Chains A and B, each alone.
Chain A
């Protein structure tokens, strides 16, 4: 069974950075894409970007190009997302997800990021 285990809730001050992790078990992340999606309180889903862990290639939504940095460590089967220059509207739940052909067939449980001074 494939499982994606995300790191815990984060509380960050404005202007700082946080790094979220997503450890995959039951599947080799070299063989899939890892996506990150956010959901602001009471809102819908927003795609941030994806990484191909096999070669490190990334694609970002335009609005996240200077906000998010996606990396992956194939030795630990873990994907990461760093969010920089935090602002209040970065407060959201962040999900990692994986899947072929850009369809997300397995999701992490989500990690809450709260930005507050």
Chain B
């Protein structure tokens, strides 16, 4: 199985700050990488797919980048509504696997 190592496990950011979350795959996944946001008590929502494509309706302050085994999610200008858990997921090979998640809080 492809292991997705996500970091950091948690971070806090001030409003307006830019934050980055990383995922490292145990093998190359050819940009088959998605990012999800999960707010407390809610179901996950797709933010980014194919490593860098923004899902319809997602604010442009969210962006994704990376290649090979290293991928990152950037939030340019933290907003109150961005407080949530974030997960990466590879769709390169079955079984689909998720990162362990990053808890993002407002400082």
Contacts and interface: CB of A to CB of B under 8 A. Distances in A.
Contacts of A103: 34, 46, 49-50, 89, 91
Interface stretch (A9-17, A42-50, A68-76, A78-86): A42-50
Interface stretch (B11-19, B64-72, B76-84, B97-105): B97-105
Contacts of B101: 44-45
B45 interface: yes
Q: Chain A, interface size: which category?
A: 20 to 34
A110 B44 CA distance: 10
A44 B98 contact: yes
- Interface of B: prevailing SS: loop
Interface in B5-40: 32, 34, 36, 38
Contacts of A101: 32, 49, 91
Interface string A58-70: 0111100000000
A104 B98 contact: no
A61 B95 contact: yes
Contact of B46 (A45, A50, A105): A105
B44 A95 contact: yes
A44 B96 contact: no
Contact of B45 (A47, A102, A107): A107
Nearest to A64: B95
A104 B95 contact: no
9 contacts: A37-B44, A44-B87, A44-B100, A45-B38, A101-B49, A102-B32, A102-B91, A103-B50, A107-B44
